[in-house]
Amino acid sequence: MASAAAVADDDGAWKWAIRKRVWDALEVDGVARDPRPAHHGIPNFDGAAAAANTLGRLEVFLNAQCVKVNPDSPQKQVRFLTLSGDKKLLTPQPRLTTELFSVLDSQMIPAGCIPEASTPVAAAKYGRPIGLDEKFKVDLIVIGSVAVVRIQEHD
């Protein structure tokens, strides 16, 4: 872990210190899931699907017609719920190899292929690549994070 002086000298160092603590804890506590190790990315974790299912019951998700979801492993269930719910899925292209995003619509996906279409590689297979100039109304954005800090106001 970085020293207090190093953290003070580098505005971003504290973020890496927190991330490293979270990544280490996921591995030590045995809740990290593939792809492993959990370090240096948005980690997959035990309970990711349950968290997605909770999101899937929220009014904001139920009412959304277009949901932008990142291709990270822990958000696979969110992508699945989006497509299963007859919503448009906007997701970044894997490694941004061609266009920036793919848009998927359950109508474009053959019957029984929604689980496969929920993976990043298949998003390019079943989706339509779009560039930055195409306009979309996105109702909900779902992103991953290594750590979330809650800030509480004090009176």
Per-residue pLDDT tens over the stretch 54-112: 999 999 999 999 999 998 889 999 999 999 999 999 998 766 566 688 899 988 899 89
Provide the pLDDT confidence category of residue 36 given band limits of 50, 70 and 90: confident
Q: What is the model's pLDDT at position 26?
A: 76
| Domain assignments of the chain as residue spans, ordered by start | 4-44, 47-142
Q: Which residue has the higher pLDDT, 3 or 113?
A: 113
Is 90 exceeded by the pLDDT of residue 15?
no
Alpha helices in 57-144 (DSSP H): 59-63, 76-84, 114-117, 120-126
